[in-house]
Each structure stands twice: as structure tokens, then as C-alpha cells.
Amino acid sequence: MSVATQLEELVTRAVAAVGDAVVTVGRGSGVVIGTGHVLTNAHNLHADLTVGFADGRRSAAEVVGVDGDGDLAVLATDTGEVAPAALADDIAALGRTIVALARPRRRGLTATLGSISAVDVAFRGPGGRPVRGAVEHSARMPRGSSGGPIVDASGRVVAIDTHRRSDGFYVAMPMGDRLRQRIDQLTQGISPRRARLGVAVAPSPVAGRLRAAVGLQPRDGLLVREVDDDSPAAAAGIAAGDLLVSVDGTPLTTPDVLHDELTDATSLTFTVVRGDDEREVVVDLTAPQD
């Protein structure tokens, strides 16, 4: 059997195994993961949610659970007789041959062959926070493919597509214990609430220029440009114009460092510079937040 024939059969098997479970969600795609449940990207959610199926049927959907920072959502809808896709237990390895499936609106099912071209990559979720541990693949896909499944040779879903990178490769969230746990929680209606500080910041180079412009000594850190009312930062006394130098002893060199420190935190201690005065500020992140 030739290599071309083997690859053709791989795509054919993937379509046969998962094709009917691939659906349209808003402007993107999704996949049926259980009776009455569809997995998609959070950025595909819109006010008027409908899911489109292979047989042309459209069904209204409701959000069961959403992880906005992680760009995942589970929807409840009438999936009819569609067999759910099988989710892989292991994380897709570098070089693995895959088939990217999607059902963009008004295009029908698409299937593209590719391979895992990079692992442990990062991207920004809809809220701007970094999402780490993603994979990159080389299968070319049309607009409206985000939320669709990436399938291996045995027809298992090994990743969920998110978006195309500027260099033409695509980024996907790989299956594995962590992602499966997140999907299970979303299916149960448990949406994660990540700690929120409530500030808009400027990176260190901008902070240095602005401090120099008003005659202050240069310091590395994140300049607070805005503070939300009733936010943890406001309650702790952090104000616009403050410079956040470090958090729990870690220098704040980029906004991503701040995002990482906020993950799973209940309180944080900041070194804050106001003018030329330096002080320690403890921020309680456990208070209810809108």
C-alpha cells in the first residue's frame, strides 16, 4: 500500500468516525462530546446560539459552563442520534499525523491532513491571559474552524482547535488529564472563576518613559493606568499612577508574569512605588467579584 493511499484512508477513517459529531457553532465549529452536550471555544459564543448538524438540522443551545480565559465552553442542545466523539487520554506528541475537522457556517464538513508541528506553545485567551501547554499543527483550515476537533489515526479527538497563528500554523488545546477534567467540570455547570486584580497596566518600557517624563527615577515594573471601582486592587489602596514592582517577591517584568501569579492565588503582596515612596500592599483576592 502506498503512502498516499495510507494517508487517504486515515482521512476517510477520521471522517467516518467523527464527521457527524462535528457541528457549526455561531461563526465557528464544535464537537458533540456526549448526549446533549457540545464542546467549542468560548470565543464562538454569541447571544443567539444555535448548533448546526451534518443532516442540516439546527438546534438552539444554552451555555452549561464556560472558561473564558481558557477559551472553552460546553453547550446544552438536542444532539439527536449523533454519536459523541471519543476523546483521547494522552497528549498528542510532536510529529503525530492528524486530521483537522470543522464545519464552518455555509461550508459543510472540512477535513485537512497535517501533523503536530510544535508542543507546549502559548496563546492569549479571549480575556488576554496567556494559555499555556497548547500544540501547533500544520493542517490548513478555513475561517470558522475554531472549536473543531483534531483527530488521530484511530479517530480519537486529540485536541480542540482555537485559532490560526500569523505564520500560518494553527494552535489547538491538547487532550490529556487536565483538559478532560476541565471539560468534565464545564459539563457539570462548573465555570472557573480566576482571581482578578482589577487594574489596567502599561509594560515596563512605557512605565520608564512616563516616569522620566515627570522627573521620577526609572524603575522596572508595571504602571497602573486604571483601577476598576470595587476591585481588589481598589480595596487595597492601589491607584492609577502606581508602579507595581514585584508580587510575592517576583519582579513584574511583563503583564504575563502578573497573570501567572494571579492563577489560583487568594492573596498577593505587591511592592508598590508611588512617586519615590515604596511600600508593601497586600491584596485580598477572595472577595466576591462581579
Q: What is the pTM of this model?
A: 0.77
CA dihedral 140, 145, 149, 154 (to 10 degrees): -40
Asked if 120 and 143 touch (Cβ cutoff 8 Å), the reply is: no
Q: Are 68 and 125 in contact (CB under 8 A)?
A: yes
Extract the C-alpha cell encoding 75.
Answer: 453547550
Give me the pLDDT at residue 202, please.
85
Full set of structural domains in the chain with CATH: 3-187 (2.40.10.120), 199-284 (2.30.42.10)
* SS3 state of residue 209: helix
Q: What is the predicted pLDDT for the residue at 107? A: 87
Instruction: Name every residue whose Cβ is closer than 8 Å to that of residue 4 and which is 6 or more positions away in sequence.
Output: none
Q: What's the CA gap between 192 and 195, in Å, rounded?
A: 10
Q: What is the pLDDT of residue 20?
A: 96
Q: What local confidence, expressed as pLDDT, does residue 289 receive? A: 54
Tens digit of each residue's pLDDT, the chain (290 residues): 688 888 888 889 999 999 999 999 988 999 999 999 999 999 999 878 999 999 999 999 999 999 988 899 999 999 999 999 999 988 788 989 999 999 998 889 999 999 999 998 887 776 667 777 889 999 998 899 999 999 998 899 999 999 887 777 889 999 988 899 999 999 999 987 777 888 888 888 888 888 888 888 878 889 999 999 989 999 999 999 899 999 999 999 888 888 888 877 888 999 999 988 999 999 998 865 55
